[in-house]
Amino acid sequence: MNTVRRSLMVLFAGIASFWSVAPATAQYRTVDPPVTYGTPSLRDMDVGYVIPELYPGGGDSWDAWSSSFLKADGQAPKKPATTGDEDTDMENESDFSESYAKWASMYSAQSVMDGDPGTAWAEGAKGTGTGEVVVARISEPKGIGIMPGFQRNADLFGKNARPRRVRVWLLAAGRKDVGQYENFYYDVKALAFHDVDLADAMGWQALPLPAAVAPPTKMSGGYEGDPFTDWFVAVRILSVYPGSRWEDCCIAEIGPIE
């Protein structure tokens, strides 16, 4: 169980005890694995295109962040045996669903935002991957870089395809809701784009973003802080450096350049 959820459980239990209400019950959630392995309509992105909802909730939430992605490979996590203790079994089921959904999403957009160059988004379309799109959340529209290809090691980098020329979109969320486990972004609108050529090399490369102005993101819940905008970037593959073994085109990271 992650630290945030465990802390929330302790807090809820303490509140229940303090007010002498019903006995404290631990709160668990389950995460569903990917369903569609992408949203093909992202290939139609143009100025004014709107993504209805994005949230980094794991599993099927990643279906909305790219036009396609490969299904997982390797050994899936094993479901734990039941213990007969209801609370323990619920906790085990919650933890298993999260770990299984993360495994099933190993090639989704989660991998371009996890800070680990050893993971990668891998498009799941037939052919070279030309036209496929991946979306990433960014903190601000400057200082952004990209690590093209599968950068776990030089061997995998060469065997998988890498983007050669990409179309880079800048997007902004119209509204944001803060949830218990993650944030929800609505009406994420494509504002502007331009094309960028990438070198066939490992490591970070600058990913210049197009200029655009967006209104502040609306916040639910009566937010009274300073206005801000939640930014996103989308990368569309226009051409590739072919892999020596696989056609799958990969991107390891998109984020603040290091």
Q: Is the pLDDT of residue 23 over 50?
A: no
173 to 31, 48, 64, 139, 212: CA distances (angstroms)? 24, 12, 14, 12, 13
In this prediction, residue 224 has a pLDDT band, given cuts at 50, 70 and 90, of confident
Residue 236's pLDDT is: 98
Return the closest-CA partner of residue 241 out of 201, 200, 202, 204: 200
Q: Rounded distance, CA 52 to CA 80, Å?
A: 36
Pick the CATH number of 31-72+107-256 from 3.40.50.920, 3.40.50.10320, 2.60.120.260, 1.10.10.10: 2.60.120.260
Q: What is the pLDDT of residues 158-207, one digit of tens each?
A: 999 999 999 999 999 999 998 888 899 999 999 999 999 999 999 999 99
Please provide the DSSP assignment of the chain as one string: --HHHHHHHHHHHHHHHHTT-SPP-------PPPSSSS-GGGGG--TT-EEEEE---SGGGGGGGBS--PPP-SPPPPPPPP-S-HHHHHHHHHHHHHHHHHHHTTTSGGGGSSS-TT--EE--SSSS-TT-EEEEEESSSSSEEEEEB--SSHHHHHHSBEEEEEEEEEEEEEEEEE-SSSEEEEEEEEEEEEEEE--S-SS-EE-PPPP---PPPEESS---S-----EEEEEEEEEEEPPSS---BEEEEEEE--
Q: What's residue 253's pLDDT? A: 98
Q: Where are the domains of the chain?
A: 31-72+107-256
Give the model confidence (pLDDT) of 31-74 as tens digits: 999 999 999 999 999 999 999 999 999 999 999 999 999 999 99
Mean pLDDT taken over the chain: 89
Q: What pLDDT sits at residue 9?
A: 34
Q: Are 188 and 54 in contact (CB under 8 A)?
A: yes
Question: Is 0.85 surpassed by the pTM of this model?
Answer: yes
